[in-house]
Amino acid sequence: MTHFIATIQEECKNISALLNINKYDVFVAIKEDIAASAKDKNPFALNASSRIFVTLRVWNSEGQVGITNTSNLTHDGLVLAFEVALNSAQFCNTSTKYDFSPLCLDPILSSTAEIESQSTSIQELAQAAVECESAILNAHASIKSVPYNKISQVFLEHCYFNSLNAFRHQKTSFSHCYFYPLAQEENKIPRQLGHNSIANNFKTLSYLQCAQTAIEKTKNHLNYEKVTTGKYMVVFSPEAFLDLVGAFSNFFNAQNILDKKSLSTTDTMNTQLSSDFLNIMDSPLHEAHIGKSFFDEEGTPTRELSILENGVLKNFIHTSYTAQVFGTKPTGHTALGSKLTAHVHFLRIFANKDSQNQQEPNKNSTHIYIENVKALHAGINALQGSFSLPFDGFIVNGEKRTSIESATIAGDFLTLLKNIIYVSPLEKVTSSGICTDIWVNDLSVTGG
Amino acid sequence: MTSVSPSLTLGAGIRLFKGTEDCYVSTNDISFNGLKKILEKALDIFNLQISDNRIIPEINLEPLRDYGVLKNKNNWLEAKPPVHEICETLLACNFKQQNTKHLHSSTTSGFRDCQEVLVASSDGIFARDIRLYQSLSAQVSCLDGQHRASCHKRIGDSGNAQFYEKMNINNLTEELAETASNMLHAEFVTSGNYPVVLANQFGGVIFHEACGHLLETTAVQRNSTPFANKKHEKIAHHNLTAWDEGFWENGFGSIDMDDEGMPSQKTLLIENGVLRNFLSDRTGHLLTGHPRTGSGRRQNYSYAPASRMRNTYIAPGNFTKEDMISSIDHGIYCKSLGGGSVSSTGDFNFAVEEAWLIENGKITKPVKGATLIGQAPDVMQKISMSGNDLQISAGFCGSVSGSIYVTVGQPHIKVDSIAVGGRS
């Protein structure tokens, strides 16, 4: 594809000259993926796709910027995209001054960083999916199907270039699988738990182990009880807490603050948002992060960024535009969508081991363990800071753990941060980040 | 204006069937070589090859069934307003929202999606459609000390080039301001089981999530619906009848043909509580035997079509809203619902954006933080009253074949008992 990217680069140069466009930048995303599922011990839903998307920004003579993306990469398609972007630039607010990232020419770890990948056939994925589905179906009489299961292999190639001759390019790959068995015993309600795994490629993907974990999780919830509605001490699993922080990431997102769509304001910087034993950082280059990006969609190198340090808000994530407004440097978090937005890469949430205020809670006291939260798109109101989410979990009473039939947990995110009473020192690597068990006091749980 | 962001998408996909198995390969390279490549890839998945190096198999395609011509749609692209007129509408809407009390922020966004779809298949189907979807979404966020409230409303339709010219932004902004104002200082609802009245229009999302998805053959073929073997059985209260219509004039979920080239149909889902039909696409028909209903839909070429809802609604009954409210001593009136979801186990949940307490047959005070939680088969039996005021609303639905435009709708309905999650 390197030749293809050079062709696109040359096309963009010629078209911009033809249209008298002096300033532009381009982000190219190339994705090749294959995926397979299994149904009744046969291959099912075999898919493959090959897609290339180009997102381009052009500046008009007034300094206004227009953005367009296209998947039509013929000469005519690219000309149209440049023309459309130029036309849309006239609607850009003249008081908003966009520019290239000031770091787009800075060196990165490797300007053509490549991650070793191995090719796999879709038949191999299908065979593995059937093997896993069969193992799950044979594992327990109550498991009658695995409605959601999939193994995929994805190759990605990203490239950024601009009219200043900045050029970034990287290849990466990952392989992903998930299995969600559906179990039902007589006179009981159906139960569905699952697990997902990710690796750099299919050869290193632990799909059978993933299936085994899905079996164990499902079996753990076959015998369940109703939970009494009330306030509880709650322990979030690493996966559940990462989901929650991700859903409320507007509290450290500079673009959201400018849009007044954040739980923070500029004044929130350096204030204590949680107890002093909680740390949150974004670690895009962490060795455990599969499919890491070395630069964002404006060509800014990605880097580690401390967000919450001992409970104090230390940094916002920035695009080049918000960095310019806030008088700081971009942090490598830009995504080019309908407008510039910032997003986190790979959160690491961990305990401040130096804190004197943290005391290990009595783990034998009655509490609720939340294995995973569900339906975030429906149960999160990120602007209000409120959440009300169904979850899978357990009532823990001493040594006894009993699955909860169905329940929701509700609260206010900023209050939750304040009510954290313990951050376990045991960090767990998940597909979306690294986190520990987080203990929170006084959360409302409604039984179904 | 913060952004105007055009997106130009072009691509194709090929689906092969071998017995009841199928595979799907897509690309955005629609040159001859690009298409040949995905055909070869699809054949390779089934260990097949093009015989005698032939690319075009001997199939007799029907004469092009062109809905662009048949429904006089080809002029839509010219008739739609220029971008600056849409911008003016959005700015006017945002300007009106400045009157909202305790306003913290307001956002108005609009989109227009023009699609040209061409379907050819080896059973002879050859059809073209043009689709035009437009929508406006407004959101306000209010702040007063520690009290926060945010609410949003979307309107949208299809096949109506004059959508932006004809819309009434006054109603939209006034409703939003009223909801935000009501909810800003509302107390949190007390968790528990309540009788509930769900408002018409977007209230229909509860049927969409709690039942509609479970009547798609996509769910039947994955063994992920409790209704799989219930055709012709009673699955809901006898007062409940529900439809899924392929074409409702200007409905956000309207299509003349589905993404498999089949003309859309009006499908009776539930009649007086009895399950009559599933929504089925080609794969669903092959795997489950349920007849196709013109419901094979997808976001775009990068997804294989799957059975999906279109304009789905609960049919009107004979009751009035007042009949329902007055029948409740202590319950909740859900005036505005947010999003929701349903799992394979039939568990569903919905956020309630604007809720009111019903006390002694009267709507009294606003309450916030309510979530409706339940089991689909259970709640369907508890929809005991349907009102006479059916209204529909535009929405988006995300599922196996991507995000598509749908209509949800219902009259006011009463659910005898449902778990309401809250904070106190």
Reported as a single tens digit per residue, the pLDDT across B106-117 is 999 999 999 999
> Which residue in B51, B140, B49, B72 sits closest to B101, CA to CA?
B140
Q: Which residue in A has a C-alpha nearest to residue B7's C-alpha?
A: A69
Taking only residues 316 to 375 of chain A, the set having a beta carbon closer than 8 angstroms to any beta carbon of chain B reads 337-339, 374-375
Note whether B371 contacts A339, CB cutoff 8 Å.
Answer: no
Instruction: Check whether B422 has a pLDDT greater than 90.
Output: no
Give the residue-averaged pLDDT of B91-108.
Answer: 92
Q: Which residue in B has a C-alpha nearest to residue A73's C-alpha?
A: B29
**A38 touching B, CB under 8 A?**
no
Pairing of β B266-271 and β A65-70: unpaired
Give the residue-averaged pLDDT of B123-152.
Answer: 93
- CB-nearest partner of A406 from B223, B347, B423: B347
Q: Return the SS3 of A169.
A: strand
- Which residue type sits at B54? R
**Which residues of B are less than 8 Å from A390 in CB distance?**
347, 349, 373
Query: Would you call A306 exposed, middle or buried from its count of C-beta atoms within 10 A (0-12, 13-18, 19+)?
Result: middle
Compute the mean pLDDT over every residue in chain B, rounded to the nearest whole number: 92
Q: Quick one: pLDDT at residue A100?
A: 96
Measured CA to CA, the distance from residue B14 to residue B25 in angstroms comes to: 5
Q: Quick one: pLDDT at residue A339?
A: 76
Note whether A446 contacts B42, CB cutoff 8 Å.
Answer: no
Q: Are B281 and B295 in contact (CB under 8 A)?
A: yes
Instruction: Check whether B399 has a pLDDT greater than 80.
Output: yes
Q: Which residue in B has a C-alpha nearest to residue A48's C-alpha?
A: B25
Higher-pLDDT residue of A9 and B338 is: A9
Under-50 pLDDT residues of chain A: 111-113
**CA geometry: angle A15, A20, A24, nearest 5 deg:** 65
**A376 touching B, CB under 8 A?**
no
Taking only residues 384 to 403 of chain A, the set having a beta carbon closer than 8 angstroms to any beta carbon of chain B reads 384-386, 388-390
Instruction: Check whether B404 has a pLDDT greater than 90.
Output: yes
What distance in Å separates residue A39's CA from the closest CA in chain B? Answer: 7
Give the residue-averaged pLDDT of B333-345.
Answer: 85
Give the residue-averaged pLDDT of B117-121.
Answer: 96
Which pLDDT band, with edges at 50, 70 and 90, does B58 fall under?
low
Q: Residues with Cβ < 8 Å from B164, sequence gap 6 or more? A: B81, B85, B86, B89, B110, B134, B136
Q: Quick one: pLDDT at residue B351?
A: 87
- CB-nearest partner of B28 from A51, A338, A444: A51
> Which residue in B232, B404, B196, B203 sits closest to B313, CA to CA?
B203
Quick one: how far is CA B187 from the chain centroid? 31
Measured CA to CA, the distance from residue A415 to residue A419 in angstroms comes to: 6
Q: Quick one: pLDDT at residue B373?
A: 87
Q: Are B316 and B352 in contact (CB under 8 A)?
A: no
Give the residue-averaged pLDDT of B211-231.
Answer: 92
B360-376 pLDDT, tens per residue? Answer: 999 999 999 898 988 88
Q: CA quadruple A218, A202, A301, A7: dihedral positive or negative?
A: negative
**A4 touching B, CB under 8 A?**
no
Which pLDDT band, with edges at 50, 70 and 90, does B55 fall under?
low
Give the residue-averaged pLDDT of B393-398.
Answer: 93
Q: Which residue in B has a C-alpha nearest to residue A121's C-alpha?
A: B45
- How crowded is residue A344: how many other Cβ atoms within 10 Å of its Cβ? 21
Measured CA to CA, the distance from residue A361 to residue A41 in angstroms comes to: 46
